[in-house]
Structure 1
Amino acid sequence: MRDAEEFDGFYAACAGRIVGHVYALTGNRSEAEDAVAEAFMRAWQRWRTVREADSPEAWVRRVASRIAVSSWRKTLNRIRAHRRAAVDQSVPGLSVDHVALLQALQRLSANQRRAVVLYHLNDLSVAEVAAEMQVPIGTVKAYLARGRRAMAGMLTETHHEEASHG
């Protein structure tokens, strides 16, 4: 029990300072708090050794800083790997029809959009859509009918606008 009380006092005395230090290094409060929490967890696991260090606070600050830097390195490596992979892949451009379809979908209500996408793009049955959305089959049919009607009007408008500009 003495260890827990001693550690709690140590934490209360210096956690704020250490978060401030790591925040200044990272520029991100959330990352700083995560790194400091991890460092304090490691300090608790080794408390009998850490308490004997010249400065337990410096020990935690050093560990938290290393955790934060390690996190940066992992992120940087992920970004580099993504860029290397992206260089090797070509993404075809979106057609005018594809863009018009996406814009029309965005103008539907969330439930209509979800039903239309599940049914028409994911090829689920009405019963499967109802199960996934956790609504009655009749509700899915209504979402689909309203969504199709709205999209037909929007896509017809888009087609007429293109024809008059082209």
Structure 2
Amino acid sequence: MSRTLIVVIIIAAIGVGFYYFAAQPEPTPAEQVQAAAEDAGEAVSETADAASETADAVAEETNEAASSITEQATEAAEQAGQAASDLVNQAGEDVAALANQGQDLLNSWIEEGALTLENFDYDAIVASVQESNLAQDLKTQAIQILDDIQASPELIAAKIQELRDLLGGQ
């Protein structure tokens, strides 16, 4: 029964951690990396705390049972830590890929002459944003900036910098 309790606590802690991570609104790429790192740390800490508390309670019953439970809890905590680490690494890779995609998109507009101080091809740029794999919130923000340029061409220099900041992460 003690082992079952440990497993249930560990699964519950991991489930709570993953639920918390999945229930968050879609943050910016930088916030995603930071939140994933924080969540991973909290999940590992909560799992280790739960395993430690359970191991202490069982240790009072018998030394042999405590030894077995401690080993299982440590293994489960290590597995949870590895899973959280893998999740953080994947999130970091995803964010880097999205950031690179935004920068590549911006560079292509400039190289093609579609987005310069002298030339602004609204339709081509908006189409490329909509066809891209950028996150929907980034697409919406980029199109808003492009709409601002179209409405007030004299602001193009400032708005190009806003696009650089948004898509290039600079």
* Larger RCO, structures 1/2 (Cα 8 Å, 6+ apart): 2
- On whether the aligned pair clears a TM of 0.5, the verdict is no
TM-score between the two structures when normalised by the length of structure 2: 0.27
Query: Which protein has the larger Cα radius of gyration, Structure 1 or Structure 2?
Result: 1
TM-score between the two structures when normalised by the length of structure 1: 0.27
